[in-house]
Every structure is written in C-alpha cells, then in structure tokens.
Structure 1
C-alpha cells in the first residue's frame, strides 16, 4: 500500500480548500470584520482592517483555519498580495507552499520583496 506522508496529506487538504483563482478573493479592504467562532474560537474575533497588525492577524487566521467559503468571504486578493511577503513567514511551510504553488502572484510578490 502507498500512503501519503502526513505533510503531503496536509498539503492535499489545504489545496482542496483554495478557490479556483486568486481573483475569487473579494473580501473587504476596509472597516471592521468579525470572524465567526469556527475561525476565531479563542481570543480576538473583531479586526479593524485599518490597523496593519490586526489586518495581518486576521489574514493569518483565515488562511490557516478557513474553508473555501471563508477565504472568499474574508480575504481580498489585492490585500493578500500586498501582505504576502510578511504573511508567508507567519504561516507554516505547508500553507506557504500550497498557496504559492496555486497562486504564482504570491510567489512573485515574495520574490520581489526579498530582492528589494
């Protein structure tokens, strides 16, 4: 029998949650967002997107915990690309690899940032 490694299984699960295209992420770019309990079950649930640390924290939670409908509802493609060079350091390697493999714009943003 051929079993997938735990890391490969995690990547498969992560990839299944992603939208078809980065442009499908049409979430808010400003204002306050309150995450549902299934995403933010302990601690802060309300995030002011005008505050960079809170915006980054919300994106980290949604990327690591959210299902496809959460990603589309709460994330915005343009904001994600802007945040990605730092955000990619706050998520695990499986998350980073799956997102960058699925959405080359994120890998480009990271490379551009490291070259600067």
Structure 2
C-alpha cells in the first residue's frame, strides 16, 4: 500500500483536518429552522454577528454548508438542519468530499438527489 496515497484518501474523509464528519442517523430527526432570522452558536460560526436571515437568497444554503462542515455533535445537526430542506438543497451544497460521502453513504436518498441534479 502506498502510504502517501492512503493518507491523502483518508484526509478526504474529514470535515476539517483531524475530524470525521458527523452524520444524523435519520433525516426525520432534523427539525431545525427553515426561515426567519437565527443566530448560530459561536462554535459553528466564529464571527461577532452570527445572525443569519434564512429568507435572504443563498443564506439558507450557506448555513447548511456551515453546519454540515462544522458540527461535532448530532444535537447540532438536529438543532440547525431540517430533513426535507436538506434533501431539497443537497445537490446545491458545496461540501468537503468526505462530508458529502459520509452523508450519502448513510442516506442513499441524498446520493440519488445528487445524481439527478
């Protein structure tokens, strides 16, 4: 086995270096907000003003990308993501390859949405 190739391929599985993606076991448990103004916790978004208007074009998608990449606990996914909305937005989300792979492995419906897009 080529150790360099192995290290590169395993790095692709990380949401952030040294951290594996967190995936909810059931999309139905994701019941987060889909509209209005929310304030993300500092742990997920490191700015002084963490308010996000989910009704503004592109910000709902951006918030999903941020949460999917930064979450370290399933409770964060449950609090901020909404299953049907995640499924709808999936083809448009710009995610690290490892995050996308982990979610599509656990939830084939997302993989099917990505292929159909």
TM-score range, shorter chain: 0.7 to 0.9
TM-score of the pair, normalised by structure 1: 0.80
Alignment RMSD (CA, Å): 2.2
Instruction: Map 1:76-95 onto structure 2 (within 5 A).
Output: 76-87=82-93, 90-95=94-99
Contact 2:23 2:102 in 1 (8 A): no
Alpha-carbon distance between aligned partners in 1 of 2:57 and 2:76, rounded to the nearest angstrom: 20
Alpha-carbon distance between aligned partners in 2 of 1:65 and 1:55, rounded to the nearest angstrom: 15
TM-score of the pair, normalised by structure 2: 0.80
Alpha-carbon distance between aligned partners in 1 of 2:57 and 2:64, rounded to the nearest angstrom: 11
Partner of 2:27: 22
The structure 1 residue matched to 2:50, chosen from 38, 45, 50, is 45
Q: CA deviation at 1:22?
A: 1.0
Matched, 1:7 2:11: yes
- Number of residue-to-residue matches in the alignment: 107
Runs of 4+ with >6 A deviation? none
Q: CA deviation at 1:52?
A: 3.0
Stretches of structure 2 lacking an aligned partner (at least 5 in a row): none
Taking a change above 3 Å as real, the CA distance of residues 44 and 112 of structure 1, as seen in their structure-2 partners, is: farther
Alpha-carbon distance between aligned partners in 2 of 1:104 and 1:77, rounded to the nearest angstrom: 13
- After superposition, the C-alpha distances for 1:43-92 in whole angstroms (9 at most, x for unaligned) are 652111112311111111100001211111000011111111010xx111
Higher-helix-fraction structure:
1
Stretches of structure 1 lacking an aligned partner (at least 5 in a row): none
